[in-house]
Structure 1
């Protein structure tokens, strides 16, 4: 079909009611759109069938993961240009049903179906998670964690670098710098906020590949129990602990936080784990951690937050993230998290937003992935590598544009027995860890 790009661009603009902000390169080699704009590559008609049979973000995600859609040039520029059409249409955007009542929209949809050609869309890419059972049971949480983290330790080494820290780093300047230094500074920031001292016990919930546990034991002399639901992470972390000569001070377990019974601990770190807990279980999560702390013990909860909506009942999880990245993950506004921690009995003593730091971190991870792209595709498969590249690049923009944030919340289990003074044990001048 001659000049498919012009036809596709025109039909999309008729459907969306706004100019398409990128150039479109179609399967016939034709090109249409504003000169100098990022190029969206539609490799085949199958991409259109995916979008028409599953309109919205999930259809786009399936086409991207399968390789039916691609971007030429700067991925960040393309995502930024497309954000207004995909993610930023707002709470008042018209629904598909409303749009289809408009004659010009119905005509555009018919034209797109003709352009897509006959046939049903192919099955979703195999990288797509299938939801089974109730949310946030021990079994479904293990399955969700395995989907995300058991991709292969060699793949994560490419993305994360030697630190193997899969959470926001802590940078000195807006220009970034050395990722390993920034990750070490983040681990040290957490340790200082928790006031770790030799002889104490630390519980690291969602310990990942063991970086926080090793740092706390090596640099601060504490005994650490690190727990994860990922078998691959645990095996990797145990080897790192042994290589550091810390097996007498660090124990790595494959264990759900709900099953930890050997408290009390002097401190608990939960870094990038609480996003997996879910809104319905969050209060119970906070209560479980509260019960595992000794009176006077501290919790450092490092967690991504979304912006609150005018109507919270209308909030839906991100379809791409839920299907391909973090199955069953849920983000909550910062105020909701603080409220739940307080309801569980904690006294919240400090909240630090480090949103800009995550944008810098994600850009470093994307650069690492792109620098070793052929090997990453061999290790994780092309579809999975494409998932991670899109998710991390889009997330970097989301943090930079203040669509989501990340916060460290320091909370204390204040003494609550008979005759206790209620002292938090915190210094009078806040943020002495600086």
Structure 2
């Protein structure tokens, strides 16, 4: 497990997304996650929706099911899956700004709340499915992240995780100059490998039903973000002020580091599909 040199916690994560809210929405929109390209001809908007659809496909969602979006951001994935799959969704975000945005863009059957997944308070065995799109990285206690998902899901429930991962064989240079700074600048308490995630999933009681490395299909996200950010900084004074301010300058400068991390294999992007066992009568 890769850990940054400075401590990161839920408060730091919330402040990061609250403070940079204008940049996130201006540069990338209301989907705070990578795009997924299949042909390479998709627009960025189509690509981010394709990632959400890939999650929905792996969950085998059925109309009327109750789902949990862990680290839901602005609620865009929840809104899309509610609309396209007919499910009901409870979403949790640490960010007050993200929850505020969701509140002024309400849709039926989607409830976005401010809350920490590690202390979510949801009833046990109450959700049919759950997903976490690039939120597990922000969890201080990743083992508890898996434990809570297992507790909240019904027997037979499915859990899909889209995660930034450290390359299994990342050497010291990559760890020191790429992965640890990415964790620090992105407010990630730690970054695990595929093997770390699968071990924690198994320890929580899940079966790993599938895994796909889609690094090559998502990596162009950061080149697009870099171009849009430069343009926004030239045209918008608020974006420029936030981007060069001392408090979050590192998060902006981390974009070139992320591009290099993908190109060198230091960082991977994986999609896990997990299942909770069906209880059998004794």
TM norm structure 2: 0.87
The reply to whether residue 155 of structure 1 matches residue 23 of structure 2 is yes
> Gaps spanning 5+ residues in structure 2: where?
none
- Asked whether the equivalents of residues 226 and 253 of structure 1 are also in contact (C-alpha less than 8 Å), the reply is yes
The reply to whether residue 262 of structure 1 matches residue 120 of structure 2 is no
The reply to whether residue 286 of structure 1 matches residue 146 of structure 2 is yes
Larger proportion of strand: 2
Q: For residue 357 of structure 1, what is the aligned residue in structure 2?
A: 217
Q: For residue 250 of structure 2, what is the aligned residue in structure 1?
A: 387
User: Superposition RMSD on alpha carbons, in Å?
Assistant: 2.5
Deviations 1:346-371 (A, max 9, x none): 01111011101232111111111112
Q: For residue 137 of structure 2, what is the aligned residue in structure 1?
A: 275
Q: Distance in 1 between matches of 2:205 and 2:276?
A: 7
The reply to whether residue 301 of structure 1 matches residue 161 of structure 2 is yes
Structure 1 residues 345 and 235: CA distance shift in structure 2, 3 A: same
Query: Following TM superposition, by how much is the alpha carbon of 1:176 offset from its aligned partner in structure 2, in angstroms?
Result: 5.2
Give the SS at the match of 2:268.
strand
Query: Following TM superposition, by how much is the alpha carbon of 1:177 offset from its aligned partner in structure 2, in angstroms?
Result: 3.8
Q: For residue 368 of structure 1, what is the aligned residue in structure 2?
A: 228
Q: How many residues align?
A: 271
Deviations 1:84-105 (A, max 9, x none): xxxxxxxxxxxxxxxxxxxxxx
Q: Distance in 2 between matches of 1:154 and 1:284?
A: 31
**With CA pairs under 8 Å and 6+ residues apart, which has the higher RCO, 1 or 2?**
2
Deviations 1:281-304 (A, max 9, x none): 222221111010001100001111
Deviations 1:166-197 (A, max 9, x none): 22211023x45410001111111111111111
Give the SS at the match of 1:268.
strand
Structure 1 residues 404 and 322: CA distance shift in structure 2, 3 A: closer
Q: For residue 172 of structure 1, what is the aligned residue in structure 2?
A: 38
Deviations 1:21-62 (A, max 9, x none): xxxxxxxxxxxxxxxxxxxxxxxxxxxxxxxxxxxxxxxxxx
Q: For residue 70 of structure 2, what is the aligned residue in structure 1?
A: 205
- Asked whether the equivalents of residues 133 and 163 of structure 2 are also in contact (C-alpha less than 8 Å), the reply is yes
Displaced runs of 4 or more, over 6 A = none
Q: Distance in 1 between matches of 2:86 and 2:77?
A: 13
> Gaps spanning 5+ residues in structure 1: where?
1-128, 420-434
Deviations 1:186-220 (A, max 9, x none): 11111111111111001000000111110111111
Give the SS at the match of 2:245.
helix
The reply to whether residue 187 of structure 1 matches residue 55 of structure 2 is no
Within a 5 Å distance, the mapping from 1:329-368 to structure 2 comes to 329-368=189-228
Q: Distance in 1 between matches of 2:153 and 2:48?
A: 26
Structure 1 residues 388 and 176: CA distance shift in structure 2, 3 A: farther
One of 178, 181, 185 as aligned partner of 1:320: 181
